[in-house]
Structure 1
Amino acid sequence: MKFLCCVIASQVLLSVSKGVRVVLVHGLAGFGPEELGPIDYWNDNEQYFIDRGIDVFESTVGPVSSNWDRACELYAQIKGTVVDYGKAHSERHGHKRFGRNFTGKGYAPDWDENNKLHFVGHSMGGQTIRELERLIQEGDAAELAATGDDTSPLFKKQGNWIKSMSTLSTPHDGTPLVKILGDGMVALIKAMIIGFAGISSGSDLEDFYDLDLDQWDLGRHSGEKFFDYLSRVLSSPIWKDNIDFANYDLTIEGSIAAQQKGQHAYPGTHYAGYATEQTEKVIFTSFQIPSLKMSLPMQPFGTMLGSILNSDKDLRENDGLVPLEASKCPQAGYSGVSCTEFTSQDHKWEAGKWHWEKVSKDHMQVIGFTIFQKPDQVYERIANRIVSIEPTLRRRLKSLRGN
């Protein structure tokens, strides 16, 4: 009887909250559903949203593409259109204007200012969401000048379509690690991809994984072995001095340049940055070293970040890849802005300003890639905060729970 009641309650919730939808956006070297067989990038943390009657869409964007290109891909997947990277942008950077066709496959074709969506992004996924919001809010004058009536709606200044964005481990202000590693950044990206791939079986890898670089004519060839494909892509000259790629967008300079194109926060959107760290201060110094809880693959990078010398904000406390300070909210490209720390679970989530919360996990543990620790319940808090700004869903949940 108890099981039947739960099923009925779940069905009622889903029918009532049909308009409450969240889009998940993966980070650098990430992957979407079924790209690595049974392996889930989000490690079933999406269940926290589903349990509250929130519908979830796991997007798939270019794992190493720029935030502009990823935002265009994300828009097309949601609206159900052909990916349009923009004529002006594509000609400026030397790649194709059009990408994959999602016509008839859109997650939310009705997405607009009257049917807003919530977004959750891990790592670079948070940057991608911010770029998507900037384009929707402000459009792009260069694209309008280049194509006039033929311009994608994405570049036509649509307004406020995003109800909330929650970012996890996102390098809003970039990460010094890109410059520290130099050419080794490409090796790190390769290692991350292989690391994800190692979780899955070889057959899954051969059948599914793709770096989604068709716009650069670097799509995977029919019958091409995965590691041959990966080597071909990562040895391509497009990585060198290319500002339309992930490795530039993740730098401090690239992040500041992106911030200066748009506003710090837009009215009507709720913002939350979940800033991760897993280092400890070295006694009698200002340096940080990885804690024993940090994943072994993250520790060398955590040590590098923990020992850098900063002339401005202290960026040593980190999660293995991104400084804690850089993942609170976008700040470096603006003057006089700040982030408001969530002081309690009941802290009001105000629109039009950034809030942040510290999460004691490393860069990969926060999405569930952990062996010795229980995943942090950060997704439960994100889901609860989404419920708190959705009055209809909140009332229905209270009714079903009898309080």
Structure 2
Amino acid sequence: MTRLWMAGLHLAELFVSSLVHLLYGLYIFSTAVAGDLSQALNESLFKSNVNVGVKEEEPKGSTSAADLPPIVLVHGIFGFGKGRLGGLSYFAGAEKKDGRVFVPDLGSLTSIYDRARELFYYLKGGQVDYGEEHSKACGHSRFGRIYEQGHYPVWDEDHPIHFVGHSAGAQVVRVLQQMLADKAFSGHENTSENWVLSVTSLSGAFNGTTRTYLDGMQPEDGRSLKPISLLQLCRLGVIVYDWLGVPWLKNYYNFGFDHFNMSWKKRGVRGFVDCLLGNSGPFASGDWILPDLTIQGSMRLNSHLQTFPNTYYFSYATKRTKKIMGVTVPSSIPGIHPLLFLRVLQMSQWRLPQDTKPPYKGYRDEDWWDNDGALNTISMTHPRLPVEHPSQLVVKDSDCQPMQPGIWYYKIVEGDHILFIVNRERAGVQFDLIYDSIFERCRKHAFRKTPPTLPNQAEH
């Protein structure tokens, strides 16, 4: 009787915790909608008062923004690109700091692999090809969205790109670079790792996170879901959302599972039930992002990913914990977003269940206690599992001057996981300092070799 009572109490606690997080999610979503409406109203009312700046003519012989390699900002889990959420900026307007920036809209919950494929065709153009073997294994259509015109169709080794990835977006870029090196895109046999000039990571998910286990992934395998958990609620919500397939709502925000054809028009009621029972769809095949964010899943990905000798790498690892008498605790209440405070506390105390096999040899719980509410700081510095990649800690700017390719320079930043996205006011001056340094670094390494001859130079 006591065991039954304890089990019932545990289920009740899980339900309440999940409900609280769900309400937080609804709050953030409704706030975004209200912000969109407010922004649209202000623009319509005060449009006549906006001063239109006159662009100064660039000096003859100078390099214009159009001649520079573009900078691509890649969002993380539950993220979105330009045009979603009524025009809300995932990167809090940082894209306006440079005249040559792209913000692609990729699947917010799709796997790292699928998102890397989508990113390639977003830039190069054409119809997204997920690959025949992968598509069959995961039970979805081989082909996806069509880009009639790529955002950077000239992309090649002579016209490389700078990438900036937040959270899982950083790992997406690494997978894409490996695909380029492996010439993994049909019809594009000339790709190489040198198409990527630099990779900058903001709280990058390189080695997984213990939060996945708190939210519902099984720590035993890093693949399956616990029967009752926050992620189970998320799974059910996504299935219902995609099955209803309301056009205007999906245009506003899309989880990215269109290639799984889960709408009622294509699956019907029977297919809907099949997805709910876990017999089909992305959650049945494991082709979604959470398995990739477990420690085990990240190790599976990392075992095939390289750090390349001609690419510049820089990583900002965030941290919102400190040690008091040997105990890891949240570093401050005001400095942590309310949505993340509970998770910072939980992650700083998380322990692998005693009867569970460690994810790797030498694993220690305490190594993973420093965190930012979503990722562990140890995971964000540089790729280290299952093999550690070349790295160097940066305390002051001179530590990476001159910057060398093929090395992961990393800096520890005091901040939570969403400090540098969505809400610019929270980050304050630090927001501009970080992004200014990123864009300055990208422009300093504008060309891997000697700059190409520009049209206005060829005349002389």
What TM-score do the two structures reach when normalised by structure 2? 0.70
- After TM superposition, the structure 1 stretch with the greater mean CA deviation from structure 2, 251-260 or 304-313, is 304-313
Offset of residue 7 of structure 1: 3.0
2:391 maps to 1:339 = yes
Q: Would you say the 8 A contact 1:273–1:329 is kept in 2?
A: yes
* Partner SS for 1:287: strand
> What's the CA shift string for 1:113-158, capped at 9, x where partnerless?
1110000111111110011001101235xxxxxxxxxx61468763
What corresponds to 1:176 in structure 2? 210
The alpha carbon displacement at 1:339 in A equals: 2.0
Asked whether the 8 Å contact 2:207–2:298 carries over to 1, the reply is yes
Q: Secondary structure at the match of 1:167?
A: strand
User: Structure 1: how far apart are the matches of 2:444 and 2:249?
Assistant: 40
Aligned to 1:262: 305
Q: Which residue of 1 aligns with 2:316?
A: 274
Aligned mates of 1:276, 1:174 — CA distance in 2: 14
CA contact (8 A) 2:141 2:260 kept: yes
- Identify which of 126, 140, 148 aligns with 1:81: 126
Which of 375, 380, 383 aligns to 2:439? It is 383
Rg larger in structure: 2
8 Å Cα contact 1:135-1:155 kept in structure 2: no
For residues 260-311 of structure 1, the C-alpha deviation after alignment (integer angstroms, 9 at most, x for no partner) is: 0122x10111111111112222x22232325221101001111111112374
Asked if 1 retains the 8 angstrom alpha-carbon contact of 2:58 and 2:64, the reply is no
Please state how far the C-alpha of 1:16 moved relative to its aligned partner: 5.7
Q: Quote the residue 1:285 is aligned against.
A: 326
Matched, 1:137 2:190: no
SS at match of 2:208: coil
1:99 equivalent to 2:141? Answer no
- Calculate percent identity across the aligned residue pairs: 27
> Conserved in 2, the CA contact under 8 Å of 1:79 and 1:111?
yes
Q: Which runs of 5+ in 1 are unaligned?
A: 141-150, 194-202, 223-230, 395-403
2:294 is aligned with 1:251: yes
Tell me whether 1:325 sits opposite 2:341 in the alignment: no
Q: Which residue of 1 aligns with 2:349?
A: 307
Deviates more, 1:367-376 or 1:113-122: 367-376
* Alpha-carbon distance between aligned partners in 1 of 2:264 and 2:88, rounded to the nearest angstrom: 21
Q: Contact conserved, 1:29 with 1:189, CA < 8 A, in 2?
A: no
Q: Please report how far the alpha carbon of residue 367 of structure 1 lies from its aligned counterpart in structure 2 after TM superposition.
A: 1.6
Residues 1:364 and 2:415 aligned together: no
Structure 2 counterpart of 1:111: 155
The aligned length equals 358
Q: In structure 2, which of residues 240, 246, 258 is the aligned counterpart of residue 214 of structure 1? A: 258
RMSD: 3.4
Which residue is equivalent to 2:196? 162
Secondary structure, counterpart of 1:40 in structure 2: coil
Q: What's the secondary structure of 2:165's corresponding residue?
A: strand
Q: Which runs of 5+ in 2 are unaligned?
A: 1-51, 217-225, 239-246, 267-271, 353-362, 452-460
The corresponding residue for 2:46 is: none
Distance change (3 Å), C-alpha of 1:215 and 1:48: same
Answer yes or no: is 1:23 the counterpart of 2:72: yes
Q: Helix, strand or coil for the counterpart of 2:409?
A: strand
Aligned equivalents of 1:48, 1:216: Cα separation in 2 = 37
Give the match's secondary structure for 1:376.
helix
User: Which residue of the partner structure matches residue 42 of structure 2?
Assistant: none
Question: Greater CA deviation, 297-306 or 184-193?
Answer: 184-193
Residue type of the partner of 1:343? V
Deviations along 1:233-265, one digit per CA (max 9) or x if unpaired, are 9957335453321011111111111110122x1
CA–CA distance in 1 between the matches of 2:214 and 2:374?
11
Deviation at 1:370, TM superposition (A): 5.5
1:45 Cα shift?
1.0
Tell me the alpha carbon deviations over residues 145-204 of structure 1, each in whole angstroms, 9 at most, x when there is no partner.
Answer: xxxxxx6146876342100010111110000111222143526868999xxxxxxxxx98
Q: Per-residue displacement from partner, 1:15-58 (whole Å, max 9, x unpaired)?
A: 365232111111101111121113111111112233xxxx0111
**In structure 1, C-alpha distance between the alignment counterparts of 2:439 and 2:78, rounded to whole Å:** 25
Aligned counterparts of 2:283 and 2:295: Cα–Cα separation in 1: 17
2: distance between equivalents of 1:190 and 1:295? 24
Letter in 2 for 1:109: P
| Cα separation, partners in 2 of 1:204 and 1:244, compared to 1, 3 Å | closer
1:368 CA displacement: 4.4
SS in 2 for 1:163: strand
Aligned partner of 1:278: which letter? Answer: R
Cα distance in 1 for partners of 2:274, 2:149 equals 28
What is the distance in 2 between the residues matched to 1:165 and 1:218?
Answer: 34
User: For residues 306 and 239 of structure 1, do their structure 2 counterparts lie closer, same or farther at Cα, with a shift above 3 Å needed?
Assistant: farther
Q: Is the 8 A contact 1:121 1:166 kept in 2?
A: yes
Corresponding letter in the other structure for 1:59? P
